[in-house]
Structure 1
Amino acid sequence: MDSIYGISLFVKAAETLSFIDVARTTGLSASAVGKSIARLERSIGVTLFRRTTRSMTLTSEGEIFLQHCRNILEEFHIAKQKLDHISEEPSGPLRITLPLVGPLFNPILKEFISTNPNVQLDVHFSDHFVDLVEGGFDAAVRIGDIDDSRLVRRHLGSFRMQVVASAKYLQARGTPRTPQDLSNHSCLLYKYPSSGKFEEWPLPDWRKITAGTFSHYTVCNAIESLLFLAESGCGIACLPDFLVKRSIAARKLVAVLEDYESPARDLNILWPPGQYMTTKLRRFIDILTETLIM
């Protein structure tokens, strides 16, 4: 197994040409990565990298070895997955970090727990990006663009933000026709718990509008509470379309400013590359993709 791990480190180093990058993704030190590569070179009697103080490149032997190592790792992972199918039920801890949208994920968590009773699920809801390796997480679901090319990702779906209010509120205060009309309304604003910043509404001149003075506004860092307040006629909110879909269908909410369509936001699940995907993680991803309603 140590040989497989050494080969895995070599493939990462060959793809990034940086021991520091490999160290960052594996939790090792750059020195430990270098020593592992050196042991591998000694065991096969070949120099795999040309290293200088400024750069690192593969030797011709290293290029050939890389191709075979990729095949070895692929076959190893396939073999492990086949054995996993006939092994015992998945068990042990599974750490997942999710965005602060409980209503979207609660049915998924319920389904996973009921079908995988031996897995100790540890769920961390957060509105900021956490480092999966440093945080000890097996996977993360994230909203928006992903800058970290080190992570493997699977696209789960897309959604848009929607401006909504109750019919009761609109009858009492009138319906805004333009974004500028919001300055005369009670707005329900979301504040990110980690940064304290307000969620920007996807409307033209939003910053100019908020630079002025709303007639009244409420700030909250819980999206479920904003939904409740909007349904209760306390003001106008901007919420994900998957969260308000049922409320609109039940006529608890009405969509406003529909001429100003917001850009789609992607939802992805990510996990560290180059590591064997356990059965419990694969089952969580399968349930997530099958159950997620957007």
Structure 2
Amino acid sequence: MQMFVGVVQAGSLSAAAARLDMPLATLSRRIRELERELGVQLLERSVRGTKLTDPGMRLYEHASRGVEALAEAERAVVSDQARLKGILRLSLPPAFEPWWDLLALFQQRYPDIRLSVQTTERRVDLIEDGVDVALRVGTIAHETMVARHLITYRHVLVAGQALLERLGSPEVPDDLHRYPCATWRPGPAGIAGWQLGQQLFEPRPILATNDYLHLRSRALRGEVVTELPPFLAAEAIRDGRLVALLPAHPLPEQQLNLLYPSHRHPSSIVRAYLDFCQTELAGFVA
């Protein structure tokens, strides 16, 4: 129908083929197929162009309105996507610095979307807490949630230059017993060990905290060996303020996922956020 309307509006098959950017033979064949399907002749062809038959005129009156309505619907969808409006409620882990930049870019792309961001290490109940999408580190085992996997990465074991100048560089995990260590601890009980390659090292930390920014600060001051997410350590490693330790004994992989409720059909705002994060994330967490 779009081809038929295009021929009528262009005045000839050749002009329509050029306007539609398709071979003349293909366009002519499709119009003949339409005529056979309807059982009527729609166009009278001559060297001067095409002329509508009476059935063709009646079809054009209806088809042209339908084609214009379709085009208007497509424009409306594109326009709505460009002007998404509303509130997006998010949950993030603490100290997830790359996401701050990512959210700023998201709002540049969609300036009419307002963000409500809850930062917590607690595993929030998305329904009870009114959260649309949660950023979650670790494996997901929750039947009522949909997980959109983003990336897999590893934390890095680091120390400041001053500490290494004083104590030297460790060559194997057991060497870490000679160093003051600081560990991330999610709660008041227990101290997590470091799985360094095939060996589990259990530090006796001088500091245990659930704040990675605190750990980074102490490492930058040359006071401790600690583990950091790669995005919190990358810049300091590049400029030499921190050194990555024991690269032959890497820490375990971590999964990064976006979670949303499985029983709730994602809104256009949520879909835009999910797709944006998946597309843009690689440049931030590396």
| TM-score, normalised with respect to structure 2 | 0.65
Map of 1:222 onto structure 2: 211
What amino acid is the match of 1:200? G
Query: For 1:67-112, what per-residue CA distance to the aligned partner results, in whole angstroms no more than 9, with x for missing partners?
Result: xxxxxxxxxxxxx999754437222221111122321211111112
Partner of 2:159: 165
Superposition deviation, residue 157 in structure 1: 0.4
Q: Which residue identity lines up with residue 273 of structure 2 in the other structure?
A: F
Q: 2:142 aligns with which of 128, 139, 148?
A: 148
Question: Equivalents in 1 of 2:123, 2:107: separation in Å?
Answer: 25
Q: Do residues 205 (structure 1) and 194 (structure 2) align?
A: no
RMSD (Å), alpha carbons? 2.5
| Alignment counterpart, residue 234 of structure 1, candidates 223, 242, 266 | 223
Aligned to 2:132: 138
Instruction: Tell me, in whole angstroms, the C-alpha distance in 1 between the residues paired with 2:169 and 2:272.
Output: 46
Change (3 A) 1:199 1:93: farther
Q: What are structure 1's unaligned runs of at least 5 residues?
A: 1-79
Deviations 1:17-55 (A, max 9, x none): xxxxxxxxxxxxxxxxxxxxxxxxxxxxxxxxxxxxxxx
Q: CA deviation at 1:236?
A: 0.8
Cα distance change, pair 147–82 in 1 and its aligned pair in 2 (3 A): farther
CA displacement, residues 160-196 of structure 1 (integer Å, 9 cap, x when unaligned): 121111222101122222322222211122222x555
Matches of 1:169 and 1:159 in 2, distance apart? Answer: 26
Q: Does 1:92 align with 2:86?
A: yes
Q: 1:42 corresponds to which residue?
A: none
Same amino acid, percent of matched pairs:
27
Match of residue 246, structure 2, among 237, 243, 257:
257
Does the Cα contact within 8 Å between 1:161 and 1:202 map onto a contact in 2? Answer: no
Q: Could you tell me whether the CA contact under 8 Å between 2:84 and 2:113 is conserved in 1?
A: yes
Bigger Rg, structure 1 or 2: 2
Q: Does the residue aligned with 1:87 lie in a helix, a strand or coil?
A: helix
Alignment of 1:24-63 (within 5 A): none
Q: Secondary structure at the match of 2:228?
A: strand
Structure 1: distance between partners of 2:274 and 2:163: 40
Match of 1:107 among 83, 101, 107: 101
For 1:93 and 1:198, the matched residues in 2 are separated by 39
CA distance in 1, matches of 2:233, 2:74: 39
- Distance in 1 (alpha carbons) for counterparts of 2:219 and 2:168: 15
Q: Given that residues 143 and 265 in structure 1 are in contact (C-alpha distance below 8 angstroms), is that contact kept between their aligned partners in structure 2?
A: yes
Aligned length: 208
Of the three residues 167, 175, 180, the one matched with 2:169 is: 175
* Partners of 2:193 and 2:200 within 8 A in 1: no
- With over 3 angstroms needed to count, the CA separation of the structure-2 counterparts of 1:188 and 1:289, relative to structure 1, is same
Query: Does structure 2 conserve the Cα–Cα contact (< 8 Å) formed by 1:159 and 1:242?
Result: no
Report SS of the residue matched to 1:149.
coil
1:63-102, aligned counterparts within 5 Å? 85-87=78-80, 89-102=83-96
Specify every segment of 5 or more residues in structure 2 that has no aligned partner in the other structure, as ranges: 1-72
Partners of 1:81 and 1:139 lie apart in 2 by 28
The equivalent residue for 2:272 is: 283
Matches within 5 A, 1:186-201: 186-192=180-186, 197-201=190-194
* TM-score between the two structures when normalised by the length of structure 1: 0.63
Counterpart-to-counterpart distance in 2, 1:118 and 1:260: 46
Supply the AA of the counterpart residue of 1:288.
Answer: C
Q: Is the 8 A contact 1:103 1:224 kept in 2?
A: no
Sort the Cα spacing of 1:102 and 1:242 in 2 relative to 1 into closer, same or farther, 3 A.
closer
The residue number in structure 1 matching 2:118 is 124
Which residue of structure 2 lines up, in the alignment, with residue 269 of structure 1?
Answer: 258
